Structure 1
Amino acid sequence: MKIATIVVRVLIGALLLFGSVVYFLKLFPEPTLTGNLKTFNEGLTASGYLMNLVKGLELLCGLAFISGKFIRLANLVLLPISVNIVLVHFCLDPKNIGAGAFLFIGNLFMIYRYWESYKEVLKP
C-alpha cells in the first residue's frame, strides 16, 4: 500500500505541476474548443472566473504531492477542483475525460489512504 501511495502521489503531483506550469508559462498554444465546451469557457471568461487562482492552487497542491508535505491539506483543496474537472468533461467533453478521471480517482485514493487523519474533521 505504501508503494502505491507514493506512485499515485507523485503521478498526481506531476500532472498538477505540468498543467499549472503550462498554463502560467504559455508553453503550448491553447487548444481550440468547439461546441458547448467553447460556450462554457467563454462564459467563464466573461464572468471573471479566477482561473489564475485555480491554477495557482493546482501548482501548490502539485508541489505538496511531489514533496510529500501537507498531503492531507492538499487532498482537501484538490477535491472540489478534481470534481469540477470530471463534471465539466463528463457533461461537455466526454472523450477527453481521462486525465480528469485519473486525478479524481487518485484524489479519492489519497483521501482513503489518509482517512484516519480526516476523522477529527468529520466529528460533529
Structure 2
Amino acid sequence: MKIATIIVRILMGALLLFASIAYFLKLFPEPEITGNLKIFNEGLAASGYLMNFVKGIELLCGLAFISGKFVRLANLVLLPVSVNIILVHLFLDPANIGAGAFLFLGNIFMIYRNWSSYKELLKA
C-alpha cells in the first residue's frame, strides 16, 4: 500500500505541475469549447474569478506532492479544487472527465491514507 501511495502522489503531482505550468507558460493553445461549458467559462471570466490563483494553488500542491513535503496540507487545500474540477466536468463536459476523476479519486485516496492526521480536525 505504501508503494501505491507513492505512485498516486507522484502522478497527482505531475498532473498538477503539468497543468499549471502549461497554463502559466501558455504552452498549448486554448482548446475550443462550446455549449454550456463556454457559457460557464465566460461567466467565470465576467465575475473576475481568479484563474491565476487556482493555477497557483495547483502549482504549489503539485510541488508538495512531488517533493513529499506538506502532503497532508496539500490534500486539504486541493480537495475543493478537485471537487470543483470533477463537478464541472460531470455536469458540463462528461467526455473529458478522466483527468479530473483521477485527481479527485487520488485526493480522496491520499486523505484516506493519511486519515490519522486529520482526526483532530474533525473533533467537536
TM-score category, normalised to shorter length: over 0.9
Structure 1 segment 39-50 matched on structure 2, within 5 A? 39-50=39-50
For 1:38, the equivalent position in structure 2 comes to 38
For 2:98, the equivalent position in structure 1 comes to 98
Structure 1 segment 70-85 matched on structure 2, within 5 A? 70-85=70-85
Structure 1 segment 1-124 matched on structure 2, within 5 A? 1-124=1-124
User: Which residue identity lines up with residue 21 of structure 1 in the other structure?
Assistant: I
Q: How many residues align?
A: 124
The runs of 5 or more residues in structure 2 that have no matched partner are: none
SS of the residue 2:27 aligns to: coil
In 2, the alpha carbon distance for the partners of 1:49 and 1:91 equals 19
Deviation at 1:20, TM superposition (A): 0.2
SS of the residue 1:121 aligns to: helix
Identity of aligned residues (%): 81
The runs of 5 or more residues in structure 1 that have no matched partner are: none
